[in-house]
Each structure stands twice: as C-alpha cells, then as structure tokens.
Structure 1
Amino acid sequence: MNMNQVINMVIRQVMRRVINKGVSTGIDVASRKFGSKDAPEPGAKPNAPDSAATQQRAKQTMRMARRIGRM
C-alpha cells in the first residue's frame, strides 16, 4: 500500500466519524426542539402495546444505521 492510499484511508475513517457524530448531534437537537408535546414523561413506563412497536422500530433503525455505516 503506498502512502497516498494510507492517507486516503485515514481521511475516510476520520470523516466518517465526524459526519456520523454531526448527524447524531443534529438529530438529538431536532428531537428536543421539535419533540412531541403528547410524549410521556421520561420516567413513565411505556404501555405494553407501544413497547413492542417501539422495539420493532428501534431494531429497524439500527439495521438502517448499520447499512448506512457500510457506505
């Protein structure tokens, strides 16, 4: 591997981390700013039917995040 390839590889890795952190921060800010007013309190227990749907959405989100991370 020549030096140009090594530099490109390192830059790609660093930029991927920076972009992912920026996207995560942006989503957190947006969710706080535009959060639902009907959302339950943070300490409240979720209802049984909602928890299954929430878990399914979380799994789907994690799969999508892994696919995006591969690009």
Structure 2
Amino acid sequence: MERIISMILRRLLSKGINSGIRAATNRGNRKQDQTQEERDLERQGKQTSRSLRQTSRFARRFTKF
C-alpha cells in the first residue's frame, strides 16, 4: 500500500515540477500576448528542457549499476 501511495505522490510531484518549468519558460505571458520571436524562444527553451530531462534520465539509468 505504501508503495502505491509513494508512486502516486511521485507522479503528482513530477507533473507539478513540469508545469512549473513550463510556466517559467512562458515568462508569465499567454500565447496570444506573445510575439513570434517570444514563441520561438519558448519553443527552443522547451526543446532544451526536454533534452535535459532525457539526459538526466539516462544518467540515472547508468548510475544505478
């Protein structure tokens, strides 16, 4: 039972962290208020954060052994 609860909490925590990262890359602006340049910067930031998350996952996977 404890494992299930910790698994659910871990998932919720990671979703909260991801939404916080998304909000930070938005810099508080909504899509309709952004210029094309700001949208491009946001897209680039999201791609960078996605690649960093993948890299950290791979690093965790390799350091287990």
TM-score, structure 1 normalization = 0.47
Flag as ranges the 4+ runs of structure 1 deviating above 4 A. none
Which residue type is aligned with residue 21 of structure 1? K
1:1-71 equivalence runs, <5 A: 7-33=1-27, 41-42=39-40, 58=51, 60-64=52-56, 66=57, 67=60
What stretches of structure 1 of length at least 5 have no aligned partner? 1-6, 43-53
Provide Cα deviations, 1:5-33, integer angstroms capped at 9, x if missing partner: xx110011100100000000000001101
Q: Which has the higher helix share?
A: 2
Instruction: Count residues in correspondence.
Output: 45
Closer/same/farther in 2, CA of residues 32 and 40 from structure 1, 3 Å limit: closer
Closer/same/farther in 2, CA of residues 41 and 28 from structure 1, 3 Å limit: closer
Aligned-pair CA distance for 1:41: 4.9
Aligned-pair CA distance for 1:63: 2.2
TM-score, structure 2 normalization = 0.51
- Rg larger in structure: 1
